[in-house]
Amino acid sequence: MIEVKNVIKSFGDRTVLSDISFAFEKGKNNLIIGASGSGKTTITKCIVGLQKPDSGVVEYDGNSFWDMGRKKKAKLRQNIGFLFQGGALFDSMTVEENVKFSLRVFSNQTQKEMTDRVDFCLDRVNLHGVKDLYPDELSGGMKKRVGIARAISMNPKYLFCDEPNSGLDPQTSILIDQLISEITYEYNITTIVITHDMNSVLEIGDNIMFLHQGQKWWSGSKEDILETQNKELTDFIYASNFMKTIRDKSQAK
Amino acid sequence: MKFLHLMGEYTLFMNKVFSKPEKWKMYRQNILNEMINLGVSSLPIVAIISFFMGAVITIQTASNTGGGIIPLYTVGFAVRESVILEFSPTIVALILVGKIGSSISSQLGTMRVTEQIDAIEIMGVNSASFLVQPKIIALVLLNPILITLSIFLCIAGGFIAGVGTGAITPYDYEYGIQYDFEPFDYAYSMIKSVVFGFIITSVPAYFGYHVKGGSVEVARASTVAVVQSSIVILVVNFVLTQLLLL
């Protein structure tokens, strides 16, 4: 489980996160949702240690991240898998080398064991015959899958996915969502998904935090979100005509 | 004030670069790769420039000293001194900054803006050490070899041009090349090549690693890296000359 307590972060005079507290539960898909500029990426960077909060605590299973020494932080990070919005695959490496990267640095496995692990991870994300390709030879959906395969290569305890569906068609988006969800339940890991895709919210949102102007505005599950009367949240959910139509039809019944 | 801030940041960056690697075996492999990427791939440009510069220095020196009371072997002597003391270590370093420095800066800058460096950090790997340390070690080791080759080709170019055009006899040139040779001059050249190898890789790496923004900023960082590295080389060259030759 990951907990953030009273996290505040400002850039100059601009407060980006105001006193955020939330528990991201183990074995669940924890979603951070909100409009662009609401602080989703900043809170994620504070959690994984890419940015230090001005105040507040980030705890991994009860251990405060910012109080850890360098070695302990490095050790913890080996338990973190991160799927970046743009993939962030190493463009000078093949798919196999990308997935193998952490294993080469941190494990003492033989070449065969590492290759077997790469095969397993690629198989898990339903990718076949792409091991020798470079990232620029892959489609957007394939890049996301390779990103997931790389993220799970070290059997992480925590999985972060930054807008996993951005730039993907609806069908591929659903497949990626399902994949993330399956991995979360299968390995009982703490998954945090940053998204503003309402399909993802309704598909996999076990535990949702809605950020608005840097504040935790609402939290609940996918079942609760459609019942909410919170104005800012309903404005966010029903921003698209598609969602408005669903709501109107549902109300008409 | 800005200069002090820059120096402080550069020192902290170097501290991060030279912290203990996660896995030596992987670093050794990376150093070998960088030796090929940075050093071996620079051989053609170093060879071509050195050969022709040697030829030009010889013809110019011969045309300015010929027909007078200055003995002809002075041409070979002047070529050797200017090549070992200044041309090969310093001018080749400035050329390498343009080739290698801009490449390092744009590579790291692109990795920064496409979040590849963040990905390495999140995995628990010291990205500065992993990406930059092998480059610095590779060029610090290879630059003396490149400079030695450059010295040899300059002198060979001078011989072919000088003798080929009839500006100097082979005997006078060879005598001048060997005349009053101080082995310390070569050692001085090698000291400079090691220091310049460090600057050519570390300064552009600093600018590339700290890029913020997009492709325009990557290009800007690459230009700044080349300019700043060139200035640093010229200043350090002056300081080293004072320290070692006076």
Model confidence pLDDT, tens digit, residues B127-147: 999 999 999 999 999 999 999
B129 interface with A at CB cutoff 8 Å = no
- Best mutation target, A105, A106, A192, to test chain B (most B CBs within 10 A): A105
ipTM of the complex: 0.82
The 10s digit of each residue's pLDDT in A5-42 is 999 999 988 889 999 999 999 999 999 998 888 889 89
A68 interface with B at CB cutoff 8 Å = no
Chain A residues 85-144 within an 8 A CB cutoff of chain B:
85-86, 88-91, 101-102, 104-106
**Whole-structure pTM value:** 0.85
Mark the ranges of chain A whose per-residue pLDDT is less than 50: none
Mean pLDDT over the full length of chain B: 92
Detail the DSSP E strand segments found in chain A. Answer: 2-11, 14-24, 29-33, 55-60, 63-64, 80-83, 158-162, 190-195, 207-212, 215-220
pLDDT above 80 for B66: no
CB contact under 8 A, B115 and A84: yes
Residue-level pLDDT at B130: 92
- Best mutation target, A41, A75, A82, A154, to test chain B (most B CBs within 10 A): A82
Residue-level pLDDT at B67: 64
pLDDT above 90 for B222: yes
The 10s digit of each residue's pLDDT in B97-131 is 999 999 999 999 999 999 999 999 888 888 999 99
Section B2-11 average pLDDT = 91
pLDDT above 90 for B198: yes
pLDDT above 80 for B243: yes
Section B182-187 average pLDDT = 92
Higher pLDDT, B231 or B167: B231
CA distance linking residue B128 with residue B130, whole number of Å: 6
Section B183-205 average pLDDT = 95
Cβ neighbours of A240 (radius 10 Å): 10
- State the number of CA atoms in the 13 A half-sphere of A153 facing the CB: 31
The 10s digit of each residue's pLDDT in B23-65 is 777 788 889 999 999 988 999 999 999 999 999 999 999 888 8
For helices A140-152 and A95-106, what crossing angle results, to 10°?
20
CB A94 within 8 A of CB A133: yes
Burial class (CB in 10 A: 0-12, 13-18, 19+), B67: exposed
> What is the total residue count of chain A?
253
Contacts of A82 in chain B (CB under 8 A): 119, 122-123
User: Token pair for residue B87?
Assistant: 């041309």
CB A8 within 8 A of CB A55: yes
% chain A with pLDDT above 90: 38
Residue-level pLDDT at A239: 76
Q: Between B114, B122, B126, which is nearest A80 by CB? A: B122
